[in-house]
Amino acid sequence: MSYKNGEILITEQVEAVGGFSGVNVGRGTKWRLLNSGDADHYAVVRKGQHTEAFETKTQKERRYRTVIEVLQQVSEDLTDRYDDLLGYADAITDRLDKYWQLADTTGDIVDANVSGGDEVKEVWIRDVLAWIKVEIFVDWLEVVHVVFAE
């Protein structure tokens, strides 16, 4: 397993949520998706911080954080868009709560959970409120068995 593969598993879970698909979900720095006009809401899955530590002489734990940015385009009726944003964030959280190993078939991911999020933020473009967004934090643990070369 690798961080990349874990992020792909998380992305697949987001794409399985109603209203999301490969059209409006991207990985990394795919914020240009927002300019596609394919949807009025998007999710961008990206790497957060991580730590690593040996738990035994040959077993290492890698603790990763993946950040899911959920973005909702705004219109004049900001209240409806705010409620839509919260609904999408809740649906993603509910989906991830069901997959504590992120549907990993290798057995490397031993735990994953939504650990929190950030407050709703506004995204302004050229002095115009264009988007509102919220971040969801997914913390997950991967166990790696190390074979030393020396």
Structural tokens at position 88: 């999408």
Structural tokens at position 18: 């109603």
pLDDT at 79: 65
Q: What CATH number belongs to 3-145?
A: 3.30.2000.30
Q: Which of 67, 147, 145, 139 is nearest to 108 (CA)?
A: 145
Compute the C-alpha angle 35/37/39, nearest 5°. 115
* CA–CA gap between residue 57 and residue 68 (Å, rounded): 34
Element (H, E) at 67: strand 59-73
pLDDT at 124: 85
User: Dihedral (C-alpha) 20, 26, 28, 29: value to the nearest 10 degrees?
Assistant: -120
* CA–CA gap between residue 46 and residue 27 (Å, rounded): 6
Tens of pLDDT, residue by residue over 28-77, are 876 777 777 788 999 999 999 999 999 999 999 999 999 999 999 987 66
pTM for the complete prediction?
0.92
Neighbouring residues of 21: CB distance < 8 A, sequence distance ≥ 6: 15
pLDDT at 1: 66
